[in-house]
Structure 1
Amino acid sequence: MADTPDTPASPPAARPRTVLMIQTQAENAGAQEISRLVGAGLARRGHAVRHLFFYSRTGGATDLGDVEVCVAARPGNPLAFARFLVETRRRIARIAPDVVLTFQHWGNVLGAPLSRLAGVPAIVANQVSATEVTNGPLRIVDRALGRFGLYDRITVNSDETARLYAGHPAAYRARIVAIPHGFERKKSPLDRAEARRRLDLPQDVELLGCAARLHPTKRLDAAVRLLARMPDRHLALAGQGPDLARLTGFAHELGVAARVHFVGELQPTRVGDFLAALDVFVFPTAAETFGLAGVEAAQAGIPVVAADLPVLREVLACDGAAAALFVDPTDGAAFAAAVDRIFADPGLAADLRRAGAGLDRRFSLDAMVDAYARLIDDVTGGGMR
């Protein structure tokens, strides 16, 4: 189960507002976890928080409390898309929020204009999608929305993400506010054996794992490929997504399918149990704006081997000490060697755990929510338009 640090009572809001969180799809993934945490924190501070998803991808993320889903599935033709736009604007107008927080690229570029059409006075766009998963036309629209004021503020969650917008127009950059992700500690009361039993994972093996959406940008095929070099190790993958069939087929091609375990989508309260089952967390992702899954694993005491991305070097560190080993996961030999180092060197594993333990101080959940609370006070009190 998720374990949250003891914190003082949340300060009441200066003036309670109705806050609407808008996202593309209902599922359990990183952006949804952040909106869940921010929403819960704002509710504790007295705000009325609602969640609106464009469509449902899985059964996840619909237990947030006050949740609405505009349409059952992603619109597949122009008529369905037009109906979706009308329905989404209608729902926003009915909720009549004081402020809308949009998440993900489609959440931003569709949610902001529809919110303006519905009469919402303040909009905060949250840049939580890596540019590698957004197409060029979408980025052009996003740039225009920020430049011409459909976004009142634009949050970024890391220094590396902020650098992506350094070349944007001055009017866009003036709206950017840095709010690093906070997170909920994913500790578990279960020991390794019990965690594996509950997740139907093998006992008495060295188990690698990753919690991520099954998508090509996560490069989970690199994790599967590790097993061809490690005949006695197993891999557990928690998540769902469009890459499941390809990854399954790839595991069969390599002859390692019996050692790859697809756990499926997990509720946030079960992620800690999944981490408790692992020996090493592998994170071969090609692109992140923050890398929440890696940070959660490192703080939970699981040694992490991560892709050598600038943003992961930024966030997977505490007090100058790295909380992960960094490697090019497309270099299979180097990736395998990094994993081998952790198993062979208990001192190295202990150093990584020690650095990871401080990440909840560096990325405080309360600090994140406080920053959003101040931002809401700002934009609803006559801030920049």
Structure 2
Amino acid sequence: MRVLQILHTDELGGVKTLADMIAEDLGRRGVTVDTVLLFDRPDFGRAEKIKAAVAMARRLAQDDHDAIFAYQATACILTGLFGRKLRIVHQTCTPGETQALVRLADRLVGTAGRYSVNVANTMFTLNEFRGYPEGYRTDMRLIEHGLDAPRAASGREETRRRFGLPEGAPLILNVGRMAAQKNQSVLIEALPAVPDATLAIAGHGGDGDMLTALAQRHGVADRLRLLGGVAAADVADLYAAADLFAFPSVWETFGLAGVEAAMSGAPIVASDIAVLREVLASEEPDAPVAFAPPHDVDAWRRALAQALATPASAERRAAFADEVSRRYARERMSAQYMELLEGRDLPAPPW
């Protein structure tokens, strides 16, 4: 069996992490997975994007793979319109955060039944499509992300030295693209209320200069470290080296970095948004996770300060890490994709 995966670009992030895991896991099950990019560069202009989309449409019309996996909006729409066999698409953005014309095209293609399987990765994401036509919702299925728990390969002190981070000061870590969605600015605005703490941001993106300027205005530039894009192995080390993981996104469909941090045993302060309440839920009332409204700087000041002043015990952190790791086991996710490839359906959502 052969599968074609289509990504918009090869930028590091949750989508690429998911696609890489699926390719690896299906490969172990005897499936050949070929991954291609819709856009060779993330900075394509409008004309270049149209040209690339036309080229992909032509390719799909002639493609002989047994299945196509598409992960982002334009790739999904092209797969639905021109793919010839099993077409599995993923909703990696909520409708409200999708550009209007793209949102309309996705709605029309899905309602026409051109998606064989339309995957949402959380109940929150699934419910975002509750108001869509029945023809669209008929093909939607829930496949929650599965992940490997990050395993640090180096000690706390060694990791901090490697990244030029203070060895003795409290370390707040954020992992994510430097972009408006990830809302790192609220952390910088809250940092003056957390004396001596250093904020490290691991991720690429175009907001680096803005975040640096904001840190200068708030007098905390010496306590901000922009680490740039970081390999997965290094991110695992950073989780273990941090005193606190901060995740202030204004929206997510899953929140991969937050779940990874939980699996690593890091205490967390996360945005008080529905999807993060879902994926970071715990059966225990004293789980090492707190929530603050995304844009409430005072709430972030209090939450960060309290989390650092009263750190959770190693036992509480380990119990939460185990709970989240079991809930989002990678093997469960891979088995569900294999079921689809073998022609078996997954349970319909409880609309």
Which ranges of structure 1 fall in alignment gaps of 5 or more residues?
1-16, 56-70, 381-385
Q: Could you tell me which residue of structure 2 aligns to residue 60 of structure 1?
A: none
Per the alignment, do residues 90 and 270 of structure 1 end up closer, same or farther by CA in structure 2, a change over 3 Å counting?
farther
Per the alignment, do residues 22 and 323 of structure 1 end up closer, same or farther by CA in structure 2, a change over 3 Å counting?
farther
Q: Could you tell me which residue of structure 2 aligns to residue 336 of structure 1?
A: 301
Q: Could you tell me which residue of structure 2 aligns to residue 215 of structure 1?
A: 179
* Alignment check: 8 A CA contact 1:342 1:349 kept: no
Q: CA deviation at 1:231?
A: 3.0
Q: Could you tell me which residue of structure 2 aligns to residue 88 of structure 1?
A: 56
Per-residue Cα deviation, 1:349-380 (whole angstroms, up to 9, x for no partner): 75354223321111110000000111122279
Q: CA deviation at 1:345?
A: 2.1
Per the alignment, do residues 339 and 150 of structure 1 end up closer, same or farther by CA in structure 2, a change over 3 Å counting?
same
1:308 to 266, 272, 290: 272
- Give the Cα separation in 2 of the matches to 1:317 and 1:42: 29
* Alignment check: 8 A CA contact 1:158 1:311 kept: yes
* TM-score of the superposed pair, with normalisation by structure 2: 0.92
* Alignment check: 8 A CA contact 1:193 1:203 kept: yes
1:229 to 174, 187, 193: 193
| Aligned partner letter, 2:45 | G
Q: Could you tell me which residue of structure 1 aligns to residue 327 of structure 2?
A: 362
Q: CA deviation at 1:242?
A: 1.9
Q: Could you tell me which residue of structure 2 aligns to residue 58 of structure 1?
A: none
Counting only pairs closer than 5 Å after superposition, residues 1-385 of structure 1 correspond to structure 2 as 17-55=1-39, 71-72=40-41, 74-78=43-47, 80-92=48-60, 96-113=64-81, 115-116=82-83, 120-321=84-285, 322=287, 324-347=289-312, 350-378=315-343
- Give the Cα separation in 1 of the matches to 2:80 and 2:187: 37
Q: CA deviation at 1:300?
A: 0.3
Q: CA deviation at 1:139?
A: 1.3
* Alignment check: 8 A CA contact 1:298 1:353 kept: no
Per-residue Cα deviation, 1:17-56 (whole angstroms, up to 9, x for no partner): 111111111111011111111111111100000111122x
* TM-score of the superposed pair, with normalisation by structure 1: 0.84
- Give the Cα separation in 2 of the matches to 1:132 and 1:352: 34
- Give the Cα separation in 1 of the matches to 2:318 and 2:304: 15
Q: CA deviation at 1:83?
A: 2.7
- Give the Cα separation in 2 of the matches to 1:220 and 1:295: 18
Partner SS for 1:295: helix
| Aligned partner letter, 2:55 | E
Partner SS for 1:330: coil
Per the alignment, do residues 73 and 163 of structure 1 end up closer, same or farther by CA in structure 2, a change over 3 Å counting?
closer
- Give the Cα separation in 1 of the matches to 2:49 and 2:196: 49
Partner SS for 1:318: coil
| Aligned partner letter, 1:29 | G
* Alignment check: 8 A CA contact 2:7 2:38 kept: yes
| Aligned partner letter, 1:75 | F
Q: Could you tell me which residue of structure 2 aligns to residue 67 of structure 1?
A: none
Per-residue Cα deviation, 1:88-113 (whole angstroms, up to 9, x for no partner): 24554676311111112233223433
Per-residue Cα deviation, 1:237-293 (whole angstroms, up to 9, x for no partner): 000112222112211221211111011111222210121221100001000111110
Q: CA deviation at 1:132?
A: 4.4
- Give the Cα separation in 2 of the matches to 1:342 and 1:250: 24
Partner SS for 1:317: coil
| Aligned partner letter, 2:9 | Q
- Give the Cα separation in 2 of the matches to 1:361 and 1:371: 16
- Give the Cα separation in 2 of the matches to 1:353 and 1:284: 23
Q: CA deviation at 1:346?
A: 3.5
Partner SS for 2:196: coil
- Give the Cα separation in 1 of the matches to 2:186 and 2:21: 31
Q: CA deviation at 1:338?
A: 1.3
* Alignment check: 8 A CA contact 2:248 2:294 kept: yes
Per the alignment, do residues 175 and 280 of structure 1 end up closer, same or farther by CA in structure 2, a change over 3 Å counting?
same
Partner SS for 2:226: strand
> Which one has more relative contact order, counting CA pairs under 8 Å at least 6 apart?
1
Q: Percent identity?
A: 31
* Alignment check: 8 A CA contact 1:295 1:356 kept: no
Question: How many residues are treated as equivalent by the alignment?
Answer: 344
